[in-house]
Amino acid sequence: MNVIVTDAGFRQDDWQGNAVLDLASDTDPNTVDLSAAPGLIRVDFPSFADGRGFTIARQLRLRGYKGRLRAHGHVIADQYAMARRSGFDEVEIAPDLAARQPEAQWQFRADWQRGDYQSRLRG
């Protein structure tokens, strides 16, 4: 079973909704019908080097999506702050990645709002 990473650390998947919209990393976020979108959209990361999912998340949030947004796949702990800043609520990783990058590495990056250069520029 995959591991869900949040600002509070590792946890089991608690999604109780009946539908999940899975988006591939090459999805054009402008083509996603948000009026029919379920409460959870999961964006695939086929590789940690593929950052298109961050753009998808940002665009969905800018278009007004208020539901749960989950990064799924090959996201590494170093990318957690970027995932949160771009609009993801959580990250879903495989158990083998969780073993290689334990909870402490993810929690180290959980204070994702601190050190954001854009916030400092706006402030």
The three-class DSSP label of residue 54 is helix
**Contact (Cβ atoms closer than 8 angstroms) between residue 99 and residue 87:** no
pLDDT of residue 70: 98
Please tell me the predicted confidence (pLDDT) of residue 23.
97
3-state secondary structure (DSSP) of residue 56: helix
Residue 68's alpha-carbon distances to 11, 14, 42, in angstroms, are 16, 12, 8
Tens digits of pLDDT across the chain (123 residues): 999 999 999 999 999 987 999 999 999 999 999 988 889 999 999 999 999 999 999 999 999 999 999 999 999 999 999 999 999 999 999 999 999 999 999 998 887 666 555 665 666
